Amino acid sequence: MRLILASAAITAMGLALLGQEAPPAGAPPKKKMGQRIVRPGVPDPAVQRKMADLKPIAEISIPGVPDWQVITKDAFYVSNGPKNTLHRVDAKTNEQMTIEVGRRPCSGLAEGFGSVWVPLCGERGTGEGKGVARVDQKSLKVVATIPAGPWDSEGQIATSKEAVWVVTDKSSTLAKIDPKTNKVVAEVKIAPGSVSPLFYEGFIWVASNETSKLIQVDPKKAVVVKEIETGPKPRFLTGGAGSIWTLNQGDGTVSRIDIKTGQAVATIPAGIPGGGGEATFGGGYVWFTVFDFPITQIDPKTNKVARQWAGPGGDAIRYGHGHIWLSNLRQQNVWRLDLSKVE
């Protein structure tokens, strides 16, 4: 996700209208107009669709910058950095509640131990108020703020069976927070430039944007197990179908890492390079979002992009309660979509 971006780049469809040939999906990003990334997407009419043709089953207005998300058994939560708030949306009624959490929530949300965990970037320039806020799901109040905030606003936070995990500095330190004491109980040195921890199938997985590697960490022993090569500059990742899927910002591809072999088994051209974005898994598919292409759907059975929607919107995405939840930062709303009924 990106809170501030240059104007949206010209999409592949726009290039076609101008009589220009769109670069192939997965090609290195071309720079235009002051180094802006041109995202080609997947220029296949059988794959690409228009955002304008989508009709959400609910449009939830959230003034400010609705951004990072997490799904719980009865709700959807979304952060709002400029407002210093977290918004809870009831999964049945779509009714909304606002919770003040601290200075500038950023870098993901996670659920676990009866709480929602909210990274705080603190004041710009000074970092004052930086940490992780713990919001109790029953009282909907902040019950603790742990002074172990994220070093980068563009990342993730994870919960395993025994702890909460966040990368606290660029060098990089993966902090393990004990939910019983709300204190950091271990620190793991991992590859520099790591930003996005994820818990999947018994391990913590972290993407290193700087070294183009996926780091596998044993959460019980708090040690690195393996480093795995991915595509260039991975940042956001998700787990599903026995694999870790990384969105590679360097060339817009998606790497599929088989967790049993610890090797990349597919590199999927998605045409979505550059900053921002997010990833999720659900409904049997892998889902990615970036500006210009708010929804990219990958079929793990074929390792290909099945459908891709071009147009305004997006930059944060989750799957839950049978639906896609899409944060539209610039439009200041969240869409709830049932894409199982969309051709």
Cα Rg of the chain, angstroms: 19
User: How far is residue 162's CA from residue 271's CA, in Å, rounded to a whole number?
Assistant: 37
**pLDDT band for position 9 (cuts 50, 70, 90):** very low
- Segments forming the whole domain that contains residue 65: 12-341
Tell me if 143 is assigned to some domain.
yes
What's the structural domain count of the chain?
A: 1
Residue with tokens 């991992």: 190
Tell me if 333 is assigned to some domain.
yes
In this predicted structure, what is the pLDDT of residue 16?
A: 38
Tell me if 155 is assigned to some domain.
yes
Tell me if 7 is assigned to some domain.
no
Classify residue 221 as exposed, middle or buried by CB count within 10 Å of its CB (0-12, 13-18, 19+). exposed
Tell me if 308 is assigned to some domain.
yes
Tell me if 192 is assigned to some domain.
yes
**pLDDT band for position 298 (cuts 50, 70, 90):** very high
In this predicted structure, what is the pLDDT of residue 57?
A: 96
Whether the pLDDT of residue 255 is over 70: the answer is yes
**pLDDT band for position 332 (cuts 50, 70, 90):** very high
In this predicted structure, what is the pLDDT of residue 2?
A: 53
Quick: pLDDT tens for 13-49.
Answer: 443 333 334 444 444 444 443 456 889 999 999 999 9
Tell me if 219 is assigned to some domain.
yes
Which three-class secondary structure string do you get for the chain? CCCCCCCCCCCHHHHHHCCCCCCCCCCCCEEECCCEEECCCCCCCCCEEEHHHCCCCEEEECCCCEEEEEECCCEEEEEEHHHCEEEEEECCCCCEEEEECCCCECCCCEEECCEEEEEECCCCCCCCCCEEEEEECCCCCEEEEECCCCCCCCCCCEECCCCEEEEEECCCEEEEEECCCCEEEEEEECCCCEEEEEEECCEEEEEECCCCEEEEEECCCCEEEEEEECCCCEEEEEEECCEEEEEECCCCEEEEEECCCCEEEEEEECCCCCCCCEEEEECCEEEEEECEEEEEEEECCCCEEEEEEEECCCEEEEEECCEEEEEECCCCEEEEECHHHCC
In this predicted structure, what is the pLDDT of residue 24?
A: 43
Question: Between the CA of residue 117 and those of 3, 113, 316, what are the distances in Å?
Answer: 20, 10, 17
Tell me if 230 is assigned to some domain.
yes
Q: Give the domain CATH number at 121.
A: 2.130.10.10
Quick: pLDDT tens for 185-195.
Answer: 999 999 999 99
**pLDDT band for position 1 (cuts 50, 70, 90):** low
